[in-house]
């Protein structure tokens, strides 16, 4: 009798809440293992998920619940971050080590459980501890709810394009050496497209091939999973129509070169409308600061039309110069939110918090470093110190002594941020947070500086999307610059590159408790 009553009760629930029938619980099992891998004519053991790099693609629909059991079989601690997932009321599933969770130790497992709410598009997952994300990463594809079409012409097929970096050396050894010397880690040896570096000097490495059919339209889900480098992406003889960035729809526009920072995603429509043949696909780094080291290698793949004869001549393309700022500006300035009735751009207009964060590099004493000093990153002259207890755990259980909530909302003193570099490079160290009231509206101006050396700073906001309302070079002017802010249809993102010796202004609503951290 009890089982019959239970069945009737569940049936009644299905009729009362029919929307729940369309959502699923999707289960994944990620085994973190060592895998021998050959690239650039050399073999090494790397940390992977399920023996693959890039790892498996996580597929779900809007409103689905995703359950991922991660089992750690390597001798490194591990966490996985679902980069760009809002994590509404599930901040403990976000993944940054010592922020929302303690790392998963060797032989242990952890279950991530979250529901995808109000999102659809392309995101990525990657390790979020040390530099394991160099090989531990993959795509997240969020499809619209069943019966809901894309707000652009339906493609015939979809392809995932993941851009990455590759080191011949063991990446953890590279990081450990950098820590020992107090200097930046050695540069990567190549960039990759779906794990393939393509041909490089002294090594005819295999490249990725994108197969297409004449007359078909393809949705390319492009992901920059590189650790450091902003990249150009270009296909010879073909234009690309941008329709989405960071899982938020955009007003479509056509362009021949994509610019994409680490952690960003861009969906484009590709029309296979050229004669049969092979066409070069190129990714090349962007760097507009000669003082900063970077991997200056380009990587190549090919687009191949079906029925192309064997060994055809490859159609080449002109690669953008590595300091091609006009091309980056053309791409960034073209980005606009779709801002339709179905997908409105809800830009906060009245602000509860207006913050200015200066992003710099400093030099601190280091007794354990060979040079007795080390380079450190800082915001408002504060360098973050990782706690031994996860911040979210300390907040939830009211554990004292783990962090303070006195992070400065503005620089401790004003100076010419993009002028001649200061002489005093030492920063303050601490685990300091800035508290926001629930549902408050926030503006943050991220100000780049020339302290030690100017450079572009990719910045990601966990647990939120934000609107990019303004951007410029030099020092932010709080009186004049806001007059030019786009408060109608600014692009919506979760990751932004702060321009070299410049600034960017973002706005968001703090409607996700426990979810905000850069």
Residue 320: predicted pLDDT? 94
Render pLDDT for 229-281 as a digit per residue (tens, 0 to 9).
Answer: 999 999 999 999 999 999 999 999 999 999 999 999 999 999 999 999 999 99
Residue 178: predicted pLDDT? 92
Does pLDDT of 506 surpass 60? yes
The pTM for the full model equals 0.94
Residue 289: predicted pLDDT? 84
Q: Which residues contact 5 (CB under 8 A, 6 or more apart)?
A: none
Residue 408: predicted pLDDT? 97
Q: How confident is the model at residue 453 (pLDDT cuts 50, 70, 90)?
A: confident
10 Å Cβ neighbour count for 490?
A: 23
> Which tokens hold the place of 502?
């410049």
Phi, psi of 370 (to 5 degrees): -60, -40
Q: How confident is the model at residue 287 (pLDDT cuts 50, 70, 90)?
A: very high
Percentage above 90 pLDDT, the chain = 86
Q: From CA 473, how far away is CA 13, in angstroms rounded?
A: 56
- The mean pLDDT value for 132-152 works out to 97
State the average pLDDT for the chain: 92
Render pLDDT for 216-235 as a digit per residue (tens, 0 to 9).
Answer: 999 999 999 999 899 999 99
Residue 16: predicted pLDDT? 42
Parallel/antiparallel/unpaired status of strands 466-473 and 492-493:
antiparallel
- The mean pLDDT value for 64-87 works out to 97
Residue 201: predicted pLDDT? 78
Render pLDDT for 433-448 as a digit per residue (tens, 0 to 9).
Answer: 999 999 999 999 999 9
In the block, residue with structure tokens 């990725």: 208
CA dist list (Å): 307 to 29, 211, 214, 234, 312: 39, 10, 9, 23, 11
Render pLDDT for 321-364 as a digit per residue (tens, 0 to 9).
Answer: 999 999 999 999 999 999 999 999 999 999 999 999 999 999 99
Q: Which residues contact 457 (CB under 8 A, 6 or more apart)?
A: 359, 446, 448, 497, 498
* 9-18, 82-91, 476-485: least confidently modelled range: 9-18
Residues 164, 157: contact at Cβ < 8 Å? no
CA dist list (Å): 212 to 302, 359, 480: 11, 43, 49
Render pLDDT for 96-125 as a digit per residue (tens, 0 to 9).
Answer: 999 999 999 999 999 999 999 999 999 999
CA dist list (Å): 175 to 341, 387, 473: 48, 20, 32
Q: From CA 161, how far away is CA 193, in angstroms rounded?
A: 7
């Amino acid at each position: 009798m009890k089982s019959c009553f239970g069945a009737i009760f569940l049936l009644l629930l299905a009729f009362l809440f029919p929307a729940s029938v369309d959502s699923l619980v999707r289960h994944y099992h990620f085994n973190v293992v060592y895998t021998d891998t050959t690239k650039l004519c050399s073999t090494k053991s790397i940390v992977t998920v399920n023996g693959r790099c890039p790892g498996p693609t996580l597929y779900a629909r809007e409103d689905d619940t995703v359950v991922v059991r991660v089992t750690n079989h390597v001798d490194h601690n591990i966490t996985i971050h679902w980069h760009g997932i809002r994590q509404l009321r599930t901040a403990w599933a976000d993944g940054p080590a010592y922020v929302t969770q303690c790392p998963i130790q060797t032989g242990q497992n952890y279950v991530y459980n979250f529901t995808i709410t109000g999102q659809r598009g392309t995101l990525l997952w990657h390790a979020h501890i040390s530099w394991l994300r160099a090989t531990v990463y993959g795509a997240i594809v969020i499809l619209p709810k069943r019966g809901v079409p894309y707000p652009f012409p339906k493609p015939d097929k979809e392809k995932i394009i993941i851009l990455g970096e590759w080191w011949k050396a063991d990446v953890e050894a590279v990081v450990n050496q950098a820590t020992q010397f107090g200097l930046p880690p050695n540069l990567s040896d190549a960039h990759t497209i779906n794990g393939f570096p393509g041909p490089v000097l002294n090594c005819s490495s295999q490249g990725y091939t994108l197969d297409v059919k004449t007359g078909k339209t393809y949705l390319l889900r492009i992901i920059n999973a590189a650790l450091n480098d902003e990249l150009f992406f270009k296909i010879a003889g073909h234009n690309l129509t941008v329709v989405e960035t960071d899982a938020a729809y955009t007003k479509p526009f056509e362009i021949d070169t994509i610019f994409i920072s680490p952690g960003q995603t861009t969906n484009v429509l590709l029309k296979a409308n050229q004669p049969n043949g092979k066409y070069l696909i190129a990714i090349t780094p962007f760097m507009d600061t000669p003082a900063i080291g970077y991997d200056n290698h380009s990587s190549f793949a090919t687009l191949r039309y079906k029925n192309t004869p064997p060994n055809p001549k490859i159609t080449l393309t002109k690669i953008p110069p590595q300091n091609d700022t006009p091309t980056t500006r053309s791409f960034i300035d073209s980005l606009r939110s779709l801002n339709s009735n179905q997908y409105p751009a809800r830009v906060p207009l009245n602000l509860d918090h207006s913050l200015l964060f200066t992003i710099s590099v400093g030099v601190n004493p280091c007794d354990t470093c060979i040079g007795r000093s080390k380079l450190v990153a800082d915001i408002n002259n504060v360098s973050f110190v990782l706690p031994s207890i996860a911040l979210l755990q300390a907040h939830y259980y009211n554990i004292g002594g783990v962090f303070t909530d006195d992070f400065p909302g503005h620089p401790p003193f004003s100076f010419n941020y993009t002028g001649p570099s200061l002489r005093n490079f030492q920063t303050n160290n601490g685990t300091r947070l800035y508290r926001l009231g629930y549902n408050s509206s926030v503006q943050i101006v991220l100000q780049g500086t020339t302290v030690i050396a100017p450079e572009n700073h990719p910045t990601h906001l966990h647990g939120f999307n934000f609107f990019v309302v303004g951007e410029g070079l030099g020092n932010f002017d709080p009186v004049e610059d806001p007059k030019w802010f786009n408060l109608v249809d600014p692009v919506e993102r979760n990751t932004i590159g702060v321009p070299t010796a410049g600034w960017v202004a973002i706005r968001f609503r703090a409607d996700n408790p426990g979810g905000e951290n850069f």
